[in-house]
Each structure stands twice: as C-alpha cells, then as structure tokens.
Homo-oligomer: A and B are copies of this chain.
Amino acid sequence: MKFCSVCGHPVEFRVPAGDNRPRFVCTKCLTVHYENPRIIAGCVVEWQGKILLCKRAIEPRQGFWTFPAGFMENGEAVQDAAAREADEEALAKVEVGSMLSVVNVLRAHQVHITFRATLLEGQFGVGEESLESVLYEESEIPWDDIAFLSVEFALRRYLDDRRAGVERLHFRDIDWEEGKVTLRDR
C-alpha cells in the first residue's frame, strides 16, 4: 500500500495515536488503513466413501491437488463460501456438515476454515480453476502432490476421524521463518 484509498495521497507506515502497531496512515486525511487476516473456506467432500479432489489450474501450486477452497467473500457465511467453492472448482453441489479444522497460516495472514461435506447426487465436474476433478479412494490420494500443508492436515484429520467414527474439530498453526516451516497443534 502506497496511497490512501480514500483521498489518493501517499500513506506512511507508523503507529497511530492510541494504537500499538504500525498501520498505513494517510499523510493528508489521516485515515488509518487496517489490514486483517482473510478467511479461506473449504470442504472435504465425500461421496460413497471417496474424497473429491481437484487439480489446480492456477497458481499458486498449479498442477497440485486440493479439496475445494478459496477466499470467503463479503456478504456470505463461511459455510456458504465452502459450498460455493465446491460448486466453482468442481461443479459440485454439496451439503456442508461439521467444522473439521481451523488452521492459522500466520505469515500468509490467512485462516483456513474447513468443513466436512457430502456430495449431493454424486454429480461433479471440472470448474474453471481446475484441470481435473477426481473422487479418490483413501488409498489412492496423491499425498506427494497435495497443494498446501493446511489441505494435507485437514485431509489426514478427516480420514483419522472417519476411521474412529468421530467428528472432531482440529487446530493447527503454520508458520515459517527463513524457509523453515514450523507447525503447532492446539
């Protein structure tokens, strides 16, 4: 951020009066521009024991596999955002169930919230942001080609819980420094 979105004048990065963190503050109109984490909403979609995964057609991680997930939009509920992503990425109508995982991705300023979901009527396809969509048996999941650490975390916990016959909520923090990833479960 270099310019104020309210008045168009340059911003500076400083601690505003009464605050304790640096923010982008307009040098002219003094508007403080707050920046906050964004929510990535997604769902692990199951159909007859199989898991719906999409091969990403876009960066980041083009060509790698993920369950449907993406940025939550203003005006929607996080569950509806997860269902919308299933529709957009895999042309899949789903029923969203319990919350599966919340992953704080600290350096990316994101919170990844993932739900369990069921595919309705077994119908799906390939959305514009996907190269392929596949219903995988657990034994067929391409673990070496999963797009994101948070996706692998949610998928593994989903499968663990399914084996145990429970639906738990799982938490993890993902951070990295100088190329080294650190994980913290809660």
A: which residues have CB within 8 A of B? 1-11, 18, 21, 24, 33-39, 71-79, 98-99, 102, 104, 106-107, 109, 111, 128, 169, 171, 173, 186
Q: Is A36 a contact partner of B39 (Cβ separation < 8 A)?
A: yes
Q: Hey, which chain B residues are within 8 Å of A36, CB to CB? A: 38-39, 71-74
Nearest B residue (CB) for A3: B8
Nearest B residue (CB) for A171: B79
A172 CB to closest chain B CB, in angstroms?
Answer: 9
Q: Is A111 a contact partner of B78 (Cβ separation < 8 A)?
A: yes
Q: Is A2 a contact partner of B2 (Cβ separation < 8 A)?
A: no
A93 CB to closest chain B CB, in angstroms?
Answer: 17
Q: Hey, which chain B residues are within 8 Å of A79, CB to CB? A: 104, 171, 186
Q: Hey, which chain B residues are within 8 Å of A109, CB to CB? A: 74-75
Complex CA–CA separation, A6 to B1 (angstroms)? 6
The 9 closest A-B CB pairs, nearest first, are: A3-B8, A77-B104, A74-B109, A1-B5, A36-B38, A5-B5, A8-B8, A77-B173, A3-B5
Partner among B2, B128, B169 whose Cβ is within 8 Å of the Cβ of A99: B169
Complex CA–CA separation, A171 to B169 (angstroms)? 14
